[in-house]
Structure 1
Amino acid sequence: MIDRGHFDYVIIGAGSAGCVLANRLSADPRLSVLLLEAGPADRNPWIHVPLGYGRLFNHPVLNWGYKTQPEPQLEHRQISQPRGKVLGGSSSINGLVYIRGQREDFDDWANAGATGWSYAEMLPYFKRSENQARGADAWHGVDGPLSVSDQSEPHILCDAYIAAAVEAGYPANPDFNGAAQEGAGYFQTTSHRGRRCSAAVAYLRPARQRPNLTIVTNAHARRILFDGARAIGVEWTSGGQLFCAYGGRETILATGAINTPQLLELSGIGDGQRLQSLGIEVRHDNQAVGENLQDHMQVRCVFETNQKVTLNDDMGSLARKIRMVARYVLQRKGPLTVSAGYAGGFFRTAAAKDMRPDMEVHFITFSTNKMGDSLDPFSAFTASSCQLRPTSRGHVHAVSPDPMVAPDILANYLSTEEDRATNIAGLRLIRNIMAQPAMARYITNERMPGPDLTSDDALLAYIRQNAASLYHPTCTAAIGQVVDPQLRVIGVDGLRVVDASVMPSVVSGNCNAAIIAIAERAADLILGVPMLEKEMANG
């Protein structure tokens, strides 16, 4: 084993949270920081072109390429779970949509025992992370590293969708991350002047020349090293060799909601019986490790349109492809700048149990048989529904002591009657919006699910056959179950988890913004910095 030395902090995982921590901890020149990433540097050009996420969906090098076990309620289909394996993690391959969630999400965390994680306490960290293109206000900041921008230009179909939502009785909403989430509007994106602003671009690039920050790529963590009950470092493989390094103050696990529980279990932290069955020595018996997996599921509706203004049309014409590339290179505008949701909305369906939106809609100006496939050869757009707070729960567990073996992932989608009813209601909500005059004049045919599917049973069958993940796995090392409110792993010393796995419940929307804010607050917890009380008062 090759010893790479001693550091104050060892951070395992250079995804959204790991990049934030590397920047904030190494800002103190007295502290030495090691950052490990299983994948390569973020040099692939498609990472930095917003629409390039389509090229990265199944990338064999930059993507872990996970799949769930056959999902019992989805006709035993295995569901793709792409995860970034590159500097920036999933923020380097995701759809760039910037959504924080609802105020109540964080208040629910605090009320359930996650002290310090209420909305009022988290808002300053959202603001601290953000460089908002529209300027600062009560909800937004401009001094942070993460660029948040408007779409580069409007689109005729997006405008029609927003107008149709208003005709259907929903408000227009220009800022889903402001005073209220409900309504329809354009999504903002983590981009700057037409280029992706990943966590690696925002946080790591400004810090990587610091002499006290060491970044090691292509380093696949095998296990956390312990001295008794204290974590003291990490062991990893790279290029067929075995390495180790030691963290004198803390070892920080930031590998995401899939890899984090696996690595905890490989290090002896988890259900004792499960670990013993794999031949892993039990260091701390905690049956909650890897349980409580929550993920957002999406159901796509595809509509053919009488307007040849879709990305399908652009990609089907050589002349239009040349124009699309030229506009991007010269103006940083056009389809290549668009996120995985061009416009969208947050709505209350007929199944909503309270006044909070329970459904997110993503509206995109292209269509495909399934994500990652080629675009359809006809003019069409997609509106997908996503239940914001699913009640189904799954798990992630190691199945071998070999860290190169992918873990067992089961999201357990649609396992509750509430989730089934809400997803049916989501399809009906989309149909209602599409039937409004502002939108209906552009639609020639509902291709998916198809107008003949009208009963609840028929729509549920369609969902079972076609639903997929929205790629938001969370909650597998939750606060109060696996970590305490300071994100310290319960039962051992010197080890924290800082990533999506610590969420007590999934936020109501896309998750990347919340993960970055969690890491911002975690950096203060690690460094012993007082909470941003002044900013809280101003917010």
Structure 2
Amino acid sequence: MKRFDYIIIGAGSAGCVLADKLSADGRHSVLLLESGPSDDRFWIRTPIGYGMSFHNDKVNWRFSTMPEPGLDGRKLYWPRGRVLGGSSSINALVYHRGVATDYDDWADAGNPGWDYKSVKPIFDAFEQMVDAKDKVRHADGKLTVSDPTSSLHPMKDDFFAMCEQSQVAFHRKPSQIGEGISSYLITTRNGKRCSSAAAFLRPAQKRKNLTVMTNIDAERILFQDNRASSVLCFHRGAQITFSANREIILSAGAVKSPQLLQVSGIGPGKILRDAGVTVRMEHPHVGMNMQDHLGINYYFKANKPTMNNVLGRWPGRIMAGIEYILRKTGPLSLSVNQIGGLVKTDPDLAVANAQIYANPVSYQIQYHNERPLLKPDAFPGFILGFNSCRPASEGSIKITTEKASTPPNIFGNYMTHQRDIDDVVKMARFIGQLQNSPAIQGILSASPKTPLDVMSDDDIIADFKERCGTIFHPSCTCRMGTTIENSVVSSDLKVHGIDGLRVVDASVFPNITSANINAPTIMVAHKAAQAILGEAK
């Protein structure tokens, strides 16, 4: 079968939702295309196993940025999921909606119906919340979001004491929205990763009207007049074309979605012509306006056991592995990100400006995001870190050839806006206050490796530029808005000026949300499905 009502390109956080929702009533034939393999792998099912997927090119695109002028010419590594479930299959599992004003800003940018009051019921409907006592709330929700507080490392009490002593708002019970430090909610179900594939795609795969193809690469979109009509793919050494009766939906993520538009002739004219692509429609914002969270960790040696004592030594790893295999509990059933949340570094701020991480593990290296996370330091250690919630710097995705198989040039453009530079100093000073709390001072076995107390603002900025890394939240490269002059898609996520073509993934965010982006991406897909099915009646 080569003709379907809907063709979805990308089986990530959004694509799996669309496959489920569009095929649910059996009226429409749906094709879901995924460049990578099945997610049926031990280290994907195992929550902390994302450290093993971090550099695995079988399930990971393993992108890198171009040299970053704002980071002294460094290139940053960008892992992105290339597997059923996409990045939700290889991420650190943290689930957070952000703050309400993130979405109100989307609506204020000319996108009615995207304010938080409007999208909150969508979140509420698909979330299945499991509290620290394993009590399920909203059993009909498909995405299981668990409170791991009762299973966390005992150092959580030190981190909560740190917050109390520093007069930082904290909550013993975590929330999926808003400000405050707590244990992080994670997308796990019965000790296993609950990715978008596990939550939404797996139950839908038995439907006869849904076809899922893995290890197939979309090369470009083809058109009839002004309508997206088919997708040219490469599969098992041969080209194959699939046609869409109703719509083609790009859900390939913030890198691949704009890349596929560009190689198909939709994008900034000069970029396309320089890459040898015929311009079908001049679309100036395709691949532009990229936003990402950029952060840093500060490392500390502890005078008490941390997760390093378990995962940093073979006997501990073996025992943790046995516990996980037998009971699906223990360190392997958790995220490395255990405590954190959104805070104001200045109480006079209207909204949180920093996301904080307090983790009972350390994996110190020159560039910490290049080391597998299952190999922590041999000594007891922990991390305090931050990233800015709403960075001002914007990057871009630009093709260099007409081939979708060639990675595009990624320009993070990090730290090129003065506000971001100023925020680094504010947030580092905030971490300095936390590390000076009696709770943290009481568990140090050595002076902090980064002596924030005696560092000048310039020293802090220089250290940040040398060691910072992305938090892996690229977004906004096909942002929604009112016209082709300021955006790529309309508020119903249709590509401006093209019929039968939508983009549904994190690339459509008008602005990056304040926290982790898996939750809002899944919400976007549910809202898009409502619009698509509403038009199909």
User: TM-score, normalised on structure 1?
Assistant: 0.94
Give the aligned partner of residue 34 of structure 1. 31
1:88 to 78, 85, 97: 85
The residue aligned with 1:482 is 488
CA separation in 2, counterparts of 1:155 and 1:278? Answer: 51
C-alpha displacement of 1:145:
0.8
Q: In 2, are the aligned partners of 1:54 and 1:372 still within 8 Å (CA)?
A: no
Instruction: Note closer, same or farther for the CA distance 1:529–1:97 as it changes in structure 2 (3 Å cut).
Output: farther
| Partner residue, 1:404 | 405
Please say if 1:77 is aligned against 2:74: yes
Aligned to 1:387: 388
Q: 1:451, CA displacement in angstroms?
A: 5.2
> What are the residue-to-residue correspondences of 1:267-416 with 2, within 5 Å?
267-308=264-305, 310-350=306-346, 354-368=349-363, 369=365, 370-373=368-371, 374-416=375-417
Moved more, 54-63 or 167-176: 167-176
CA contact (8 A) 2:292 2:474 kept: yes
Q: What is the CA-CA distance between 1:142 and the residue it aligns to?
A: 3.8
Secondary structure at the counterpart of residue 73 of structure 1: helix
Unaligned runs of 5+ in 2: 482-486
How many angstroms does 1:438 deviate by?
2.0
- 1:483-502 CA-partner distances (Å, limit 9, x unpaired): 00000000110000000000
Structure 1: gaps spanning 5 or more residues: 531-539
Give the Cα–Cα distance (whole angstroms) in 1 for the partners of residues 67 and 287 of structure 2: 18
Report the Cα distance in structure 2 between the residues aligned to 1:229 and 1:424, rounded to whole angstroms: 50
Cα deviations by residue, 1:290-345 (Å, 9 ceiling, x for unpaired):
0000000011111110012x222213433322221222223322211221411112
Alpha-carbon separation, structure 1, partners of 2:247 and 2:330:
45
Structure 2 residue corresponding to 1:155, chosen from 146, 153, 156: 153
2:323 maps to amino acid = R
| Counterpart contact for 2:268–2:282, Cα < 8 Å | yes
Deviation sequence 1:481-537 (CA, Å, 0-9, x none): 00000000001100000000000000000000000000001000000189xxxxxxx
Q: Distance in 1 between matches of 2:138 and 2:423?
A: 35
1:127–1:142 Cα contact (<8 Å) kept: no
**Secondary structure at 2:5 match in 1:** strand
**1:141 CA displacement:** 4.4
Change (3 A) 1:452 1:177: closer
Pairs within 5 Å for 1:88-487: 88-134=85-131, 141-151=138-148, 153-174=151-172, 177=175, 181-308=178-305, 310-350=306-346, 354-368=349-363, 369=365, 370-373=368-371, 374-450=375-451, 453-480=454-481, 481-487=487-493
Q: Give the letter for the 2:169 counterpart.
A: P
Greater Cα offset, 125-134 or 518-527:
125-134
8 A contact 1:97–1:340 mirrored in 2: no
Question: In the TM superposition, what is the alpha-carbon distance from 1:115 to its structure 2 partner?
Answer: 1.2
Taking the aligned partners of 1:7 and 1:340, their CA distance within structure 2 comes to 41
Q: Which amino acid aligns with 2:229?
A: I
How has the CA–CA distance of structure 1 residues 25 and 448 changed in structure 2, closer, same or farther, with 3 Å as cutoff?
farther
- For residues 35-87 of structure 1, the C-alpha deviation after alignment (integer angstroms, 9 at most, x for no partner) is 00000011221001010011111112100000001111111110011000000
Contact residue 23 and residue 203 of structure 1 kept, 8 A? yes
1:518 matched to 2:516? The reply is no
Deviation of 1:239 (Å): 2.1
Deviation at 1:446, TM superposition (A): 4.5
Shift in alpha-carbon separation, 1:316–1:253, aligned structure 2, 3 A: closer
Contact 2:175 2:185 survives alignment (8 Å): no
Shifted more, 5-14 versus 237-246: the winner is 237-246
Name the amino acid aligned to 1:435: N
Change in 2 beyond 3 A, CA 1:448/1:246: farther
Letter in 2 for 1:104: T
Paired with 2:327 and 2:370, the residues of 1 have a C-alpha distance of 27
Asked if the contact 1:99/1:176 (under 8 Å) is kept, the reply is no
Query: Is the partner of 1:339 in helix, strand or coil?
Result: coil
Distance verdict in 2 for CA 1:201–1:237, change over 3 Å: same
- The answer as to whether partners of 2:361 and 2:382 remain within 8 angstroms in 1 is yes
One-letter amino acid of the counterpart of residue 361, structure 2 = F
C-alpha distance in structure 2 between counterparts of 1:359 and 1:94, whole Å: 20
Paired residue secondary structure (1:47): helix
* Helix, strand or coil at the partner of 1:443: coil
* 8 Å Cα contact 1:175-1:181 kept in structure 2: no
In the superposition, relative to structure 1, how do residues 147 and 525 fare at CA in structure 2: closer, same or farther (>3 Å)?
Answer: same
Quote how far apart the aligned CAs of 1:174 are.
4.1
The one-letter code of the counterpart of 1:474 is S
- Equivalents in 2 of 1:363, 1:8: separation in Å? 47
The 8 Å contact of residues 349 and 422 in structure 1, kept in 2 or not, is answered as no
Amino acid at match of 1:171: A
CA distance in 1, matches of 2:251, 2:478: 11
Look up the equivalent residue of 1:110 and give its one-letter code: A
Displacement of 1:413 in angstroms is: 1.0
- Letter aligned with residue 525 of structure 2: A
Cα pair 1:176 1:182 within 8 Å, conserved: no
Q: Tell me the distance in 2 between the aligned counterparts of 1:175 and 1:103.
A: 19
Structure-2 separation of matches of 1:224 and 1:495: 9
- What SS class does the counterpart of residue 259 from structure 1 fall into? helix
**1:11-26 pair list within 5 angstroms:** 11-26=8-23
TM-score (ref. length: structure 2): 0.94
Which secondary structure does the structure 2 equivalent of 1:99 belong to? coil
Whole-angstrom CA distance in 1 between matches of 2:531 and 2:521: 15
- Structure-2 change in CA distance of 1:484 and 1:364 (3 Å): same
- How many residues align? The count is 520
Amino acid at match of 1:45: F
CA–CA distance in structure 2, aligned partners of residues 285 and 316 of structure 1: 53
